[in-house]
Amino acid sequence: MFCYSYARVSSRHQVDKHGITRQVKAARVWAERNGHELIEISDKGLSAYTGKHTQKGNLGKFIAAVGAGEIPAGSILIVEALDRLSRQDILTQLNQFINLLDNDIEIVTLSDGMHFTKKSVGDNWAELIISIAMMVKGNDESKLKGQRIKSARENSHNKADQGQHIITRQVPFWCEIKNNTVIENHHAAAVRRMFELSLEGKGAITIARKLNEESVPCYTGARKSKHNWNMQKVHRVLKNPATYGLFVPEGDYQEKENYYPQVISKTDFMTVQGLIEKRRKNKVKSASPNNLFSGVLKCQCGSHYSFGTSKTGRFEGSQRFLKCNRKTFGEKCENPRLWYFPFEKLMLSSVLELQYHKQAGTIDETIAMKAEIERLEQQNQNLVDLIIAGNGSELMAKKSKEIEEAISKIKWDIFTYRHKKSISPNLAYKQDEIVEIQDLKNADLRESVQNQILSVVEEVIVFPEHFKVNLSNGLTYEITPKEKNSSKLANKSLTSNKRLF
């Protein structure tokens, strides 16, 4: 008999407080006490009140597997309480509860020691009443909590309108809270410098480079960057109305001017927005995708690679190049810049071979699983025939049950494997097709190829002497050119694909 535990918390804040750990630990104790092997399922930061845990989470996958017959009948689902499964309206909760029982899934709730089965609920209607009461309680608690949060927010906004209160303790990096008042800190000087440079006509990349050259301190937060100022950070500040004091709340609340300290004037802010928009309109966008690997190409240092052009190049059309963003922003990185078209040709050839490996691996593994199921089913049928004919024994019956459980486990493995490995686009291009792809005049073809690549490739990490390719199906490959000279890395043909585990 299979035993599954489901743990869930609604917010990332609860994840940090070890809510998942508490629920899983209790489920492990129950499973061990009752002699069951446990398969753990969890959803972190997904609300059961809105139903996100069944729409986007692992519980939804589990329920789908139950409906598809991938979860063996008689399996046990352990939860801390019924509100872990859902806090939606009573009919939605009840439908989910009955659906699981109808598929012969037993539900154990640890908080009250209940063990619901299709038979127990059918024999004792009081159990159904108890479960409905628990569902109503969970829904009411979430509804009341939502109303209280809304009321508290409205109260905060009303007090803020009267200048008596701060709405949130989350403030921009150039601000801090002191004596219940939002004031600016030492980072405000960096903000002023950004706007000063922007008003001079400088773009975000140039501003980031200038700030790094001037050793202007960069803020640090929960997500620390491996480098200092960059284009994205500068752009976010230049577009943020909080720089001139405007607070933009979530929901239907009114915006509040002069909520934050005014680091720059509203006039300067609006002028900078006009300059940004003018640069955006003046920027000529290529009709054909320049970089087929846009967004997935990363340096070993953690930065992304950006696309650029040069007046000179050793190959026809190779004035286009890729360079680590750390170098773009004036910092050091040992990785070389890559001439784009030789790199693109190498990667198209490599991904071609990787795709063959991926498809072969998927087919072989699935066929092997299905073949094992057929073998076990035939073995089990032979035992059943002997038992029906009266020639079986208690040992045979026990063996038959073990085989059925083994079949159910393989079906579950196939289900989880499909979720993890399924990728459909076929990148089996011939060499003459690669020539067509590299022709920038074939804009539609390049756009189609780019979409296929981005659906298969999760990221490409550049090292001095090789590339590491992480595919969306979870597999990782290493691509090493013939000549391991970092300055010529992207100019040599592929010699090997080494699968990494």
- For 376, the enclosing helix (H) or strand (E) is helix 340-388
- Respond yes or no: is residue 310 known to be catalytic: no
Give yes or no: residues 310 and 345 share one domain.
yes
Confidence of residue 30 (pLDDT cuts 50, 70, 90): very high
For the cut 80, the answer to whether the pLDDT of residue 71 exceeds it is: yes
Question: Is the model more confident about 223 or about 350?
Answer: 350
| pTM exceeds cut of 0.85 | no
> Residue 45: how many CA atoms within 13 Å on its side-chain side?
4
* Each residue's pLDDT tens digit, 129-163: 877 777 777 666 766 665 665 565 566 656 655 55
Number of domains in the chain: 4
**Of 227, 254, 282, which closes a domain?**
282
Look at the chain and count its residues: 501
User: Where in the sequence is the domain holding 493, given as residue range(s)?
Assistant: 297-355+427-500
Out of 5, 10, 42, 408, which one is annotated catalytic?
10
Give yes or no: residues 59 and 130 share one domain.
yes
In a domain, 410, yes or no: yes
Domain harbouring 96, CATH code: 3.40.50.1390
- For 351, the enclosing helix (H) or strand (E) is helix 340-388
In a domain, 22, yes or no: yes
Of 215-224, 240-249, 310-319, the least confident: 310-319
Contact in structure between 334 and 464 (CB atoms under 8 Å): yes
Confidence of residue 283 (pLDDT cuts 50, 70, 90): low
- On the 0-12 / 13-18 / 19+ scale of CB atoms within 10 A, 102 is exposed
Q: How far apart are CA 183 and CA 257, in angstroms?
A: 15
DSSP string, 409-468: HHHHHHHHHHHHH---------HHHHHHHT-TT-HHHHHHHHHHHHHHEEEEEE-SS-EE
Task: Spell out a b/e string for 287-301, using b for 16 or more CB atoms within 10 Å of the CB, else e.
Answer: eebbbbbeebbbbeb
As beta bridge partners, residue 299 has 462
Among 28, 62, 27, CA closest to 43 = 62
Q: How far apart are CA 67 and CA 152, in angstroms?
A: 42
CA distances from 493 to 348, 480, 482, 488 (A): 11, 9, 6, 11
Among 455, 145, 205, 454, CA closest to 329 = 205
